[in-house]
Amino acid sequence: MRAVAIADFGADPKLVDVPAPEPGPAELLVRLHAAAYNPVDMKIAQGVLKDRMPHRFPLVLGQDGAGVVEAVGPDVNDFKPGDQVYGRFSDTARGLGSYAEYGLAAEGGGVALMPAGMIPEQAAAVPTATATAYDLVEAARLDAGQTVLIVGATGGVGQSVTQLAALKGAKVIATVSPDSTEVLRDLGAAETVDYRVLPVVDQVLDRHPDGIDAVIDLVTQPGDVAEIVEVLRPGGIICSTIGALDPDRLAEREIRGVNVMNTPDAQTLGVLADLIDSGELKIRIQSQVPLDEAPGLLRDLAEGGARGKTVIKIG
């Protein structure tokens, strides 16, 4: 099968031919029609995470995908050939990922039936980014009437966080660039802050001098956290996706800090499918490319920020 893989950490991703996997017990073989880019894909390719994950080369890249069940292994009860599914297809220990014509998924893992009416290109964009957004909003314990600042709102995770926080009834302040302001407003942001004009903290405190309730931060590095928490009132909470927080130090300032690590499961994907089916949650695709153009795309995306999700069309 065709796949985008690396021969070693730090090597350029290339389109290669590798054997198609076979499903083992409680596994699904899925003919993938689409995969989605996530920043972690390039971290894996560059070797940033090599000490924390088993791996085998050639290593097919990609976490998220969507397609049709081709075959099932023994002891699979909830899926059958012909089912349309979406979820996570990464198994670095066996060199498998979603940037390929076929992928494997465990029945009890992060795979679920595709939302009704969705095409694979949309469904593939959901698992990592949107499930992470869901976990962030749950961790922040957002409620109606609270005010939350979303730092890094323009990417795939940020756009889903904006929508999910607004669905909770929270007032969302989203950091934006000029070309993304209308997009974030349409997704539910009550206020926007252009981070290119003035420091975000100054702009937020100018409008909310008594502070706000929560921050969901997708980009701030550990050395800059002390500044961003200035927008929080005592008792507030900040959640980070990059492990930037020291909860004990924040507690000394009467601030709760939560580092959120996400691994999508079938239950969460089912909840998201319902929200997508109802039209309450929208998935915005930034761009789509065929599989043979994916190696160049990965190099380009590693150098710049995202606006929505980038999807790889496989077949």
**225-263 pLDDT, tens per residue?**
999 999 999 999 999 999 999 999 999 999 999 999 877
Write down the residue that tokens 């090597």 correspond to. Answer: 11
Whether residue 87 contacts residue 65, with contact meaning beta carbons closer than 8 Å, is answered with yes
Mark the ranges of the chain whose per-residue pLDDT is less than 50.
none
The tokens of 180 are what?
């993304």
3-state secondary structure of 291: helix
Q: What is the pTM of this model?
A: 0.90
Confidence at residue 277, expressed as pLDDT on a 0 to 100 scale: 85
User: Burial, 12: exposed, middle or buried (Cβ in 10 Å; 0-12, 13-18, 19+)?
Assistant: exposed
The helix/strand/coil state of 54 is: coil
